[in-house]
Amino acid sequence: MTHTFDVAAVLFDNDGTLVDSYEGIMNSWTAWAIEHEITAEQLTGHDGRSTSEIVRGLIPAERVDASLARIDALEVANAHQTVAAPGAREALEALPAHAWAVATSGIRTVASARLAAAGLPVPDVLVCSDDVPRAKPAPDIFLRAASLLGVAAEDCLVVEDAPFGVTAARAAGCAVLGVTSTVAAAALGGADAVVAGLDEARFEQVGGRIRITVPGLISERAAAATPGRTWNDGDDDTGGTIATDAAGGIRPTE
């Protein structure tokens, strides 16, 4: 049985939802971790946290600003490795510009570079971690996106692939569609419905509203999904596994 959302606007997470930036993320963070002698174990358990939060928890305060600048530079340089997630282009093409936004825990330069590299439009409303006082799982980023679109957060659907993002969307009062690109469906238990990807959802404009139809509360593909990406880079809820050597140290990815 299908499930339908009827909303004024759609707020998309970026990495893991609209784009697959896994390769660039892994190459960027692996390079930074090697430079700073950070182990793979230190980079676990950060799903949905902002880059700033992760870095501040790993290195001395006096090196934070330089590290953030270095990571940003690496991620912009590696943005060309980003591709559009299945169904993302079709979803955005179906939506009028005033009815969708991107809300990401990443920074604007990286988010814009990844969208462009994936061949996706940069939206009129792009809300990033540097635009709000608190990153996900706080609701700030979704509340601001809804406000900039001129709609109530309660009349928005958030599309998310990470538990922190789902928590943030719920706290904002939004409906939530989970995507199992980086975690299993069970980890997205706060979502109203769960799909394996945007290619399982139909987006359409109906009478000035946005209708989103999905196969069910949990699609068969989503229920069967066993994502292997378990580490999040903080830029926006994308999981992954840092390459390690036999001693547990980080090594460059191939």
DSSP states of 95-146 as a string? S-GGGEEEE-SS-HHHHHHHHHHTT-PPPS-EE-GGGSSS-TTSSHHHHHHH
| H or E segment and range at residue 182 | none
> What range does the domain containing 224 cover?
1-235
Among candidate residues 9, 57, 15, the one with its CA nearest the CA of residue 162: 15
Q: Helix (H, G, I), strand (E, B), or coil: what is residue 16?
A: coil
Query: pLDDT class for 130, splitting at 50, 70, 90?
Result: confident
Kindly state whether residue 108 falls inside one of the protein's structural domains: yes
Structure tokens at 237: 């809820």
pTM, entire model? 0.86
Catalytic residue, candidates 13, 72, 236, 237: 13
47: annotated active-site residue: no
Residue 218 maps to which CATH number?
Answer: 3.40.50.1000
- Give me the pLDDT at residue 234, please: 44
Kindly state whether residue 121 falls inside one of the protein's structural domains: yes
- Give me the pLDDT at residue 236, please: 43
Catalytic residue, candidates 6, 15, 72, 124: 15
- Give me the pLDDT at residue 47, please: 59
- Tell me the C-alpha distance between 83 and 116, whole Å: 9
**64-102 per-position pLDDT tens digit:** 999 999 999 999 999 999 999 999 999 999 999 999 999
Q: How far apart are the first and last CA of the chain?
A: 43
Structure tokens at 4: 């339908």
245: annotated active-site residue: no
Kindly state whether residue 48 falls inside one of the protein's structural domains: yes
Average of per-residue pLDDT values in the chain: 88
Kindly state whether residue 246 falls inside one of the protein's structural domains: no
57 close to 90: Cβ distance less than 8 angstroms = no
Query: pLDDT class for 228, splitting at 50, 70, 90?
Result: low
Q: Report whether pLDDT(165) > 90.
A: yes
Kindly state whether residue 248 falls inside one of the protein's structural domains: no
Rounded (5°) CA angle 18-20-23: 160
Kindly state whether residue 244 falls inside one of the protein's structural domains: no
**39-57 per-position pLDDT tens digit:** 888 887 765 567 888 899 9
Total structural domains in the chain?
Answer: 1
Structure tokens at 5: 């959302």
Kindly state whether residue 243 falls inside one of the protein's structural domains: no
The answer for residues whose C-beta is within 8 angstroms of residue 42's C-beta and 6 or more apart is 58
Kindly state whether residue 213 falls inside one of the protein's structural domains: yes
